[in-house]
């Protein structure tokens, strides 16, 4: 072997069999078989009520995803970004938040939106094309969906720096101290915006958690084409800690994210959480994953289903009864009805409204364009 051939990590070491289940550094509290395990650094004493709540959240989040996918297939939505298989990553991260914490999402954080109190019907408006996001970000501290890949990490870092200047970081008051969490995917980690956000966050010790849902595929590009090392190890190169958590384990995701957020609130700076998970469905409803990945891979990850493993644990330990599942099933059906009927009833946008969304205050130039367009529309009145 030559000197050059031995330089740097071998891909077999990074993505080979030893790493197929997340590798030795993976933080896990609930195995795919539903066995509770403990971690020396990240753990949490979950009550029965908390466990049932996390299970309920994941089931309802999956129902949102299933209903929205069906609505798209029936022509009621233009497109939908599925989260199937990533429920634990989103609910674990979402439930670790405090009310004052701020979320900057991608376009797939439907479970986090649910945790922050955003009506899922509001999400559908964007994908139906009747609005640009029908919720007030400041009402729930949940930003609008970001379509530009990775741009939200810069927004999150800037907002976190603003929190520092507002004096809401490191005060010791749990009701005041705040943090920001930025969601993005493994593909976005290759974007310049994300890496610039890392640099600024580290340089200014910003109270931000970079939460990467590594679902193994950036549309059709596998993770081994994105990086030469595990994603969480990239953080050290920027000067802050990174950790890999089982993103299909809602308990571990909650514990790790809670610790990372608290670290940020206390003024100890940014951190990187890689939620090691899998995109069970398509990238969006315009994508056909059967063209680029094997069915054996999908079947392997089905055995790690985040909902099923918690369900097994709850049943095995006598923490639920059939009434619980019956009630939850009824609640999910009611949620589905709300989404189906509500989506169809969403009002179409008025063409002239778009001019009011350009700036916070109408400028003369935009007003002139609005009036010109209004005259154009009026020219069709009365015509056949």
Q: How confident is the model at residue 16 (pLDDT cuts 50, 70, 90)?
A: low
Q: Do 283 and 358 have their domain in common?
A: no
The yes-or-no verdict on residue 282 having pLDDT over 80 is yes
**Is the CB of residue 107 less than 8 Å from the CB of residue 131?**
no
Tens digits of residue pLDDT in 148-180: 999 999 999 999 999 999 999 999 999 999 999
pLDDT tier at 41, thresholds 50, 70, 90: very high
- For residues 78 and 127, the answer to whether their CB atoms sit within 8 Å is yes
Same domain? For 162 and 92 the reply is: yes
The first and second tokens of residue 92, run together, are: 């674990």
Distance, in Å, from the CA atom of 191 to the CA atom of 194, rounded to the nearest integer, reads: 6
Share of the chain above pLDDT 90, in %: 80
Q: Minimal CA–CA distance to 212: which of 13, 197, 310?
A: 197
Is 14 or 194 the better-scoring residue by pLDDT? 194
pLDDT over 60 at 17, yes or no: no
pLDDT at 270 over 70: yes
Residues involved in catalysis: 279, 283, 292
Angstrom distances, CA of residue 299 to CA of 24, 185, 314: 23, 22, 24
**8 A C-beta contact, residue 265 and residue 206:** no
Domain-embedded: residue 91: yes
Model pLDDT, residue 8: 53
The reported pLDDT for the residue numbered 14 is: 62
pLDDT surpasses 90 at 298: no
| Mean pLDDT, the chain, integer | 93
142 and 119 fall within a common domain = yes
Residues 341 and 355 in one domain: no
The yes-or-no verdict on residue 4 having pLDDT over 80 is: no
Q: What are the residues whose beta carbons fall under 8 Å from the beta carbon of 86, sequence distance 6 or more?
A: 108, 111, 213, 215, 247, 275, 277, 278, 279, 280, 306
- The string of DSSP letters for 196-220 reads HHHHHHHHTT--EEEEEEE-SEETT
8 Å CB contact between 182 and 210: yes
Residue 250 sits in the same domain as residue 379: no
Considering the domain architecture, whether residues 284 and 370 belong to the same structural domain is answered as no
Instruction: Name the domain count of the chain.
Output: 2
* Region 362-377 average pLDDT: 96
Position 97 pLDDT exceeds 70: yes
**Can you read off the two tokens belonging to residue 277?**
């998970």
| 372 and 328 together in one domain | no
CA dist., res. 231 & res. 244, Å (int): 8
Residues 278 and 373 both lie in one domain: no
In this structure, how many other beta carbons lie within 10 angstroms of the beta carbon of residue 12? Answer: 10
Among the ranges given (47-56, 145-154, 188-197, 294-303), the one the predictor scored with the smallest mean pLDDT: 294-303
* Shared-domain flag, residues 363 and 329: no
Q: Within 10 A of 339 (CB to CB), how many other CB atoms are there?
A: 23
Kindly state whether residues 231 and 370 are assigned to the same domain.
Answer: no
Sheet containing 102-104: order of strands: 102-104, 180-185, 208-214, 271-276, 242-246
Instruction: Give residue for tokens 């910003």.
Output: 206
Same domain, 87 and 236: yes
Angle at 285 between CA 281 and CA 289, to 5 degrees: 45
Q: Does some domain include residue 14?
A: no
The structure tokens 């639920």 sit at 320
Rounded mean pLDDT of 344-359? 92
Residue 33 CB partners (closer than 8 Å, separation 6+): 309, 312
List the helix and strand counts (H, then E) for the chain. Answer: 14, 7
Contact 346, 125 (CB under 8 A): yes
Mark whether 280 and 371 lie in a shared domain.
no
What is the pLDDT at residue 1? Answer: 46
Q: At 246, is the secondary structure helix, strand, or coil? A: strand
Task: Quickly state the pLDDT bin for 15 (edges 50, 70, 90).
Answer: low
Mean pLDDT across 7-15:
57
pLDDT at residue 300, rounded to an integer: 87
Torsion of CA 227, 97, 270, 232, to 10 degrees: -20
CATH code of 111's domain: 3.40.50.970
How confident is residue 9, by pLDDT bands cut at 50, 70 and 90? Answer: low
Who wins on pLDDT, 382 or 349? 349
Share of the chain above pLDDT 70, in %: 94
Q: What is the predicted pLDDT for the residue at 23? A: 81
Q: Which range of residues forms the domain containing residue 366?
A: 351-383
Q: What is the pLDDT of residues 99-145, one digit of tens each?
A: 999 999 999 999 999 999 999 999 999 999 999 888 999 999 999 99
């Amino acid at each position: 072997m030559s000197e050059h051939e031995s330089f740097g990590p071998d891909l077999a070491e990074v993505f080979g069999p030893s790493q197929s289940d997340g590798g030795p550094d993976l933080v896990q509290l609930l195995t795919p078989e539903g066995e509770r395990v403990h971690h020396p650094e990240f753990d949490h004493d979950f009550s029965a009520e908390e466990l049932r709540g996390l299970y309920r959240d994941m089931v309802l989040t999956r129902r949102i995803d299933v209903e929205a996918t069906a609505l798209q297939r029936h022509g009621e939505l233009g497109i939908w970004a599925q989260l199937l298989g990533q429920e634990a990553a989103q609910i674990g991260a979402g439930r670790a938040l405090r009310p004052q914490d701020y979320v900057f999402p991608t376009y797939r954080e439907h479970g986090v939106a649910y945790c922050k109190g955003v009506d899922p019907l509001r999400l559908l408006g964007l994908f139906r094309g009747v609005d640009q996001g029908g919720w007030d970000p400041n009402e729930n501290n949940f930003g609008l969906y970001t379509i530009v890949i990775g741009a939200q990490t810069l927004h999150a870092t800037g907002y976190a720096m603003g929190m520092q200047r507002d004096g809401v970081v490191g005060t010791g008051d749990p009701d005041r101290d705040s943090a920001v969490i930025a969601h993005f995917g493994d593909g976005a980690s290759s974007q310049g915006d994300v890496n610039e956000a890392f640099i600024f966050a580290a340089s200014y010790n910003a109270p931000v958690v970079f939460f990467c849902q590594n679902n193994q595929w950036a549309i059709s590009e596998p993770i081994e084409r994105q990086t030469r090392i595990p994603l969480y190890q990239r953080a050290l190169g920027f000067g802050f800690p990174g950790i890999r958590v089982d993103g299909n384990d809602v308990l571990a995701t909650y514990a790790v994210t809670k610790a990372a957020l608290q670290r940020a609130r206390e003024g100890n700076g940014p951190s990187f959480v890689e939620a090691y998970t899998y995109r069970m469905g398509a990238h969006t409803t315009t994508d056909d994953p059967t063209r680029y990945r094997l069915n054996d891979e999908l079947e392997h990850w089905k055995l790690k289903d985040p909902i099923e493993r918690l369900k097994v644990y709850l049943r095995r330990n006598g923490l639920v009864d059939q009434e619980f599942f019956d009630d939850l099933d009824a609640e999910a059906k009611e949620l589905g009805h709300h989404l189906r009927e509500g989506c169809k009833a969403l009002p179409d946008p008025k063409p002239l409204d778009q001019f009011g969304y350009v700036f916070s205050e109408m400028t003369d130039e935009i007003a002139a364009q609005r009036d010109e367009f209004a005259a154009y529309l009026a020219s069709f009145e009365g015509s056949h």
